[in-house]
Chain A
Amino acid sequence: MKRRLLASVATVATLVGMGSAQAQVELQFWHAMGGNLGEAVNAQVEGFNKAQSAYKVVPVYKGSYTETLTAAIAAFRARQAPHMVQVFEVGTANMMAAKGAVYPVHQLMADAKEPFDPNAFVSPVTGYYSTADGKLLSMPFNSSTPVLYWNKELLQKAGLDPAKGPTTWPELGEMAKKAVAAGAKCGFTPQWQTWTMIENFGAYHNLPFATKSNGFGGTDIELRFNDAARVKHIATLAEWSKDRTFVYNGREGRSTAQFNAGDCAFHIASSASASAIERALTKEKVGMGMMPFWPDVIAKPQNSIIGGATVWVLQGRPQAEYVGVAKFLSHISSGPIQAKWHQETGYVPVSKAAAEITEKSGFYKDNPGRDLAVKQLLLNPPTENSRGLRIGNFVQIRDVVDSELEAVWSGKKDAKTALDDAVKAGNELLRRFEAANR
């Protein structure tokens, strides 16, 4: 009754390409990019919608990565799936196992006769999202890797050289201690602690996260991240937390607020946080470098692994609509668009073309540090420990690790017990995953 009165609602004012509106096929694209990232996504979509008239992509911000994934799954089960959904790297193994739900990108492109060359993408990205025989399953979209940021002002106050960051953990510890002594509220704080301090820590030091090449070789795997190096690392951080050299500021990306507020001297965070951090602290005050490493574990760091997300195509729509999906995916992965995305956000350029365009434009000269992420990813040819991770029920496993690490930070457990417990609980989740996907 009431809603009849209020009749039809909501038409976006930015109406473009009016004439042919009727014939357009709408393609749903659910993503998890809030804030200025969301604006960038909208701009990409708008570009596609303006460039042709047969299809209209509707971008929908569905909240966090997990909320987006859950919404898509619920929708799929109810046969209302969006055409495309952005899924974070942690969900990869679960998506791969979802037989009949996913339309693999290589197959989509072939079916739609859309020109497509998987070799156009950089290898750390394709490696993570391809099958064992090298077939790309989802479309690389936003990939990042953790890098080190520092607050030049706080370093200066501590009498340190603001232009030069630490390269090893002992150095970082010392500098952070000095910064705290000079009045900083916190020395060092990491984002996404499991991703940065456990997963990437492993790849960077060439240590396995799990057996069978971190899960690339099968689902019957066991976690391995409770090794001596990581126990020592976590124990060191716990030790540092006593005098605020290390401060834990919450899960996921929450700690960035502290660094942005100018409280912390050092921050290990996704390269995609670069634009946000530079906006908050101003470009001049932010230093960037590669992640530090432990010289007693490895002489030279291996390489880091990616985070971020890819676009997965879901089954269950009329075949004709997938032609539009293929066109859209080509559009968003094209060189100029990815180059713009990379420069605006700090995500790594997923295609070689995007990297070249950015290089040629002189962007890195004006923005020193922005090329670090790619360099760090390509530091060395990947080993089986640094290619990526393919872990079932990874969302829950990360929750487990987060919880156990929090138990360390609050002094309830020592590093060894916590990591052992995390491995044990994680293995149980892996067994459940194996059983569910038999």
Chain B
Amino acid sequence: MVENRPWLTVLSHAVVLIGLVIIAFPVWMTFVASTHDQQTMLRSPIPLLPGPHMVDNYVQILTEGYGGRFGSSKHTLELGWGPAKISITMSTIAMTMINSMIMALGITIGKIAISIIAAFAIVYFRFPFRMWFFWAIFITLMLPVEVRIVPTYGVVASLGMLDSYSGLIIPLIASATATFLFRQFFMSVPDELTEAARVDGAGPMRFFWDILLPMSRTTIAALFVIQFIYGWNQYLWPLLITTKESFYTVVMAVSRQANVVDSVPSWNLLMTMAMLAMLPPVLVVVFMQRQFVRGLVETEK
């Protein structure tokens, strides 16, 4: 620090702490709710501190599901083929977690892959209709799937992609954020590097693999965070295109469960599901926050 002003440091800590408490409070209460039994959560005021039922709730959700309502059925996941095949039996909720993971990773990897090569083409080549392509991609930048969801559904259905992972993933990788960020980053890469590569006789793909891709690491990391969260948090799209429980996602399960008017609301179990639903993206953000910001700020320069 420039100078020592103790009161200012105290104030800083105080403000950040208060902010922290307010911001963390909903998550805290969710956690607290997931550690009590059903009866405790029905009497107002509900406790502010964790209770003794955490293990019970999580075990129930992961092995049995939400008390028979939303899919009490068991699902079997089979990995590998032939003799190497193992199968794991789990509750619907555990299944939805895996679906969410597949969907989020599929969207993330797919988006990054198709965007980086598109940005590479647009920045490093001159070809007819280049700007047309750029604008075509660019216009899709922020239009959310919600405002054109019915026709998009029609397209996906006519391609026979309902109830499939490709239906969950592919339509959502049609967005331009990643292309745009890569483009911004490539623009900031010094031309001397390209020059040098060409002098060495490296072709464009060689240049891409050996120089551009390693340099893009932070941008890729940043995009990984953004797109993983985007993919994981989808709600309306999976809701519409899946009719088989085996393709449901966890966010959808939480939201749907919250809307069921039930005899006695099982807040403890619902909040246990909510905790599980937010855990993977939170881990991604918390562990990757440094690369995340660096990747975005660098391209912003």
Contacts and interface: CB of A to CB of B under 8 A. Distances in A.
Interface of A: 2-3, 5-14, 28, 30, 34-36, 38-39, 60-64, 67, 71, 74-75, 77-80, 82, 252-254, 256-257, 260-261, 275-277, 279-280
B259 A78 contact: no
Interface string B57-79: 00000000000111011111111
30 contacts: A2-B102, A2-B105, A3-B106, A9-B75, A9-B246, A13-B73, A13-B76, A14-B73, A35-B69, A35-B261, A35-B262, A36-B68, A36-B262, A39-B69, A39-B72, A60-B243, A61-B70, A63-B259, A74-B150, A74-B240, A75-B162, A78-B154, A78-B157, A78-B162, A252-B261, A257-B261, A260-B263, A276-B262, A279-B263, A279-B264
A12 B75 contact: yes
A13 B77 CA distance: 12
B239 interface: yes
Nearest to A36: B263
A14 B73 CA distance: 8
Contacts, number: 114
B148 interface: no
Given A6-B77, A7-B78, A30 B243 contact: yes
* Most chain B CB neighbours (cut-off 10 Å) among A10, A257, A279: A10
A8 B165 CA distance: 11
A260 to B, nearest CB: 6
Interface of B: 42, 68-70, 72-81, 89, 95, 98, 102, 105-106, 150, 153-154, 156-158, 162, 165-166, 239-240, 243-246, 256, 259-265
A331 B48 CA distance: 50
Contacts of B76: 9-11, 13
B95 to A, nearest CB: 7
A184 B150 CA distance: 46
B157 A80 contact: yes
Given A11-B76, A60-B243, A257-B265, 11 more contacts: A2-B165, A10-B245, A11-B75, A12-B75, A13-B74, A34-B70, A35-B69, A35-B260, A60-B244, A63-B256, A74-B153
A356 B95 CA distance: 44
Nearest to B262: A35
B75 A277 contact: no
A276 B245 CA distance: 25
Nearest to B236: A67
Q: What are the 8 tightest A-B residue pairs by CB atom distance, in nearest-first order? A: A10-B246, A78-B157, A276-B263, A34-B260, A253-B261, A279-B263, A13-B74, A3-B165
Contacts of A74: 150, 153-154, 157, 240
B157 A9 contact: no
Contacts of A34: 69-70, 256, 259-262
* Most chain A CB neighbours (cut-off 10 Å) among B243, B246, B259: B243
B243 A62 contact: yes
Contacts of A7: 78-81
* Most chain A CB neighbours (cut-off 10 Å) among B69, B105, B262: B262
Dominant SS among interface residues on chain A: mixed
A11 B162 CA distance: 18
* Most chain B CB neighbours (cut-off 10 Å) among A2, A35, A254, A275: A35
Given A63-B256, A275-B263, A78 B158 contact: yes
Contacts of B72: 39
B257 to A, nearest CB: 8
A11 B73 CA distance: 9
A11 B256 CA distance: 22
A80 B73 contact: no
Nearest to A255: B261
B75 A6 contact: no
A64 B259 contact: yes
A74 B150 CA distance: 7
A260 B150 CA distance: 37
Contacts of B68: 36, 39
Given A5-B80, A78-B158, A71 B240 contact: yes
Contact of B78 (A9, A80, A260): A9
A7 B105 CA distance: 16
A9 to B, nearest CB: 5
Contacts of A67: 239
Contacts of B239: 63, 67
A2 B76 CA distance: 17
A74 B167 CA distance: 15
Contacts of B75: 9-12
A54 to B, nearest CB: 22
B95 A10 contact: yes
A257 B263 CA distance: 8
Nearest to A39: B68
Nearest to B105: A2
Contacts of A63: 239, 256, 259
Contacts of B98: 6
Contacts of A275: 263
A74 B263 CA distance: 31
A10 B244 contact: yes
Given A2-B102, A67-B239, A280 B73 contact: no
Contact of A12 (B74, B166, B262, B264): B74
A261 B261 contact: no
Given A11-B76, A78-B158, A80-B157, A3 B102 contact: yes
B197 to A, nearest CB: 30
Contact of A2 (B106, B154, B240, B261): B106
* Most chain B CB neighbours (cut-off 10 Å) among A11, A14, A280: A11
A13 B153 CA distance: 31
B200 to A, nearest CB: 33
A62 B245 CA distance: 10
Contacts of A78: 153-154, 156-158, 162
